[in-house]
A = this chain, B = another copy of it.
Amino acid sequence: MNNLLVAQSGGPTSAINATLAGILDRAMNEGSIDTVYGARYGIQGVLRESFVNLSARAGLLEELPELATTPAAALGSCRYKLQDPAKDESEYEKLVDIFHRHEIRYFIYIGGNDSMDTVWRLSQYVREKGITDITVVGAPKTIDNDLFGIDHCPGFGSAAKYIATTMAELERELVVYDTPYVIITEMMGRNAGWLTAAAALSQGVNSQVPYLIYLEEHPFDLSDFLSDIRGELSAGINVMVAISEGIRDRSGRMICDYGDRDKAKDAFGHTIATGAGHVLENAVRQNLGCKVRSIELNLLQRCAGHILSKTDIDESMELGRNAVKLCLEGQNGMMSSLRRLPLDEYRVVYEAQDIAGIADREKKVPAQWITSEGNNVTPEMLNYLRPLVQGEVHSRFERGVPKYVVLI
C-alpha cells in the first residue's frame, strides 16, 4: 500500500486548510495513492498514532471548497520540535516504525519555520538511514511571511487583505468627526514587519488621510514618532498609524516593555501586560492631548475566514497539490514553493525548494522597502504586496453564521 499522511503545525492561518484541501484534491484523485490519513494535532498526533482516515470520510472531495475557506488548522496543530537526532534518535525511530506499520510512504507537514525544521530533520534521518520508502515533504504556511525559499507565504495574502480592509474601515471611522483624531493599529509580527506593511495597501484609496507605518525592522524612536504625528496633525486633522507589535528602540528594548517599567499591577496584584499600541496611545494622549485610540488586531488577522484573498487561497491550494507531486517524485526533504516571475503581469510558478537553508531562519522586510524616515513603506513594497490581496472569497455561511468543515 502507498498511503499518504498529512499534518498541520504552528499558529493557525486563514489559508492552511486551503493547502490541506489542495493536498486532498490531488492525493484522493491519484490512483497510485491508496489511503490519505490526517494526523490530529501535528507531529505530536503522528507520534501518538492519532490518525483520521480522510479517504473514508464521505463527501470530503465535494467539501474541499468549504475546507479551503475554513480558518485555523482543521486537523489541529501543535508547537513541538523534534529532538536533535544527534542526541536522541528515539522519536525518529518511532516515527519510521509508525510510518512502516501504517504503510505511509508519503508524509506532508504543513507549517512555518519550526515545522520546516521538523521536515528537514526527519527527511535527513530517513536519508541517512537509507530508508527509501518514506518521502517527507514540507508545505509552507505563515501569516508572518518570514519564510525563506518562497516569494511569499501562503496565509500571508489573506492576513494582509484583512489588515488592509480593517485599515480602510477604521479610516472611515477616523474621518467621521471633524476633530483631531489618531487611530493606532497594532499588527502581529515580533520579528518581521510584513503584516504591518500591508496597512499601506489602503493608503490613499478612499481619502487623503495620512498613514504612518512603523515596522519592526526599523529602530523606533518615541520622540520622532510624536513629531511625525504632530507634523501630520498640523497639516490635517487625522492620522492613521500602524505599528508592528515587536517595534524596538535603538537600544533593542521593546516598546511594549516601556509599559512595564513600574510593574503596573491590577487590583489583584497581577502585572498588566501592555502592548506597544497601548503605550503609544498613552504617549500621544499625554503629549499631544488629542483623541486617540489604539486597536490590537489580535488573532482575527490570522483567522478571519470571512474575508480572504482569492489569490492566496488559490495559491495555497496549488502549493498543496504541488506537495503531493513532490511526494510522488520522491523529493524527500523538499518544500513545495512558488516563485514570482519577473513579468509585468503577476504570475507564479510552483517548484521544489530544498529545505536545508530554509528552516530556522527569518526573512525580514528589506531595508530599501522602508522609507528613510522609517515611518512608511516604499512603492516597491506596494508592488510586491498588491497582487497578493487580489480577489475576494468568504467562508460559507449557513443560517447567518459561518459553517466550517470540521475534520477532528
Contact residues, A49-69 vs B (CB, 8 A): none
What are 13 A-B pairs with beta-carbon distances under 8 A?
A: A40-B178, A72-B169, A72-B172, A72-B175, A164-B401, A169-B402, A172-B303, A205-B402, A258-B266, A270-B286, A307-B307, A307-B394, A386-B400
Q: Is A5 among interface residues, defined by CB-CB distance under 8 A?
A: no
Q: Which residue of B lies closest to A305 (CB)?
A: B169
CB of A278 within 8 A of chain B?
A: yes
Within 8 A of B (CB), among A128-177: 161, 164-166, 168-170, 172-173, 175-177
Determine the distance from Cα of A83 to Cα of B209 in the docked complex, in whole angstroms: 33
Q: Is A261 in contact with chain B by the CB < 8 A criterion?
A: yes
In A370-400, which residues have CB < 8 Å from any B CB? 386, 389-392, 394, 397-400
Nearest neighbor of A285 in chain B, beta-carbon distance: B270
CB of A404 closer than 8 Å to a CB of B: yes
Could you tell me if A172 and B71 are in contact, using CB atoms closer than 8 angstroms? yes
Chain A, interface size: which category?
35 or more
Complex partner residue of A201 from B302, B307, B392, B401, CB under 8 angstroms: B401
State the number of copies, please.
2
In the assembled complex, A298 has its CB within 8 A of some CB on chain B: yes
Which residue of the partner chain B has the closest CB to A299?
B173
* A290 on the B face (CB < 8 A): no
In chain A, positions 239-275 with a C-beta closer than 8 Å to chain B are 258-262, 264-270, 272, 274
CB distance from A183 to the nearest CB of B (A): 8
Q: Assuming A77-B177, A169-B402, A178-B76, is B268 touching A282 (CB within 8 A)?
A: yes
Is A296 at the interface (CB under 8 A from chain B)? yes
Residues of B within 8 A of A233 (CB): none
In the assembled complex, the Cα of A302 lies from the Cα of B394 at a distance in Å of 19
Asked whether any CB of chain B lies closer than 8 Å to the CB of A300, the reply is: yes
A262, closest chain B residue (CB)? B265
A interface with B by C-beta (< 8 Å): 12, 40-41, 44, 70-73, 76-79, 161, 164-166, 168-170, 172-173, 175-178, 183, 201-202, 205-207, 258-262, 264-270, 272, 274, 278-279, 282-283, 285-286, 293, 295-296, 298-300, 302-307, 309, 386, 389-392, 394, 397-404, 406
Complex Cα gap A306–B300 (Å): 14
Q: How far is the CB of A313 from chain B (nearest CB, A)?
A: 13
Contact B394 A400 (CB under 8 A): no
Please tell me if the beta carbons of A274 and B266 are within 8 angstroms of each other in the complex: yes
Q: Which residue of B lies closest to A286 (CB)?
A: B270
Are A172 and B262 CB-contacts (below 8 A) given A295-B299, A403-B206? no
Closest to A172 in B: B72
Q: Knowing A178-B76, A265-B264, A401-B164 touch, does A270 contact B282 (C-beta < 8 A)?
A: yes
Give Cα A178 to B309, complex, Å: 29
* Ranked 6 nearest A-B pairs via Cβ: A264-B264, A72-B172, A261-B267, A389-B400, A270-B282, A259-B266
CB of B300 within 8 A of CB of A401, answer: no
Q: Contacts A400-B161, A400-B164; is A296 near B299 (CB within 8 Å)?
A: no
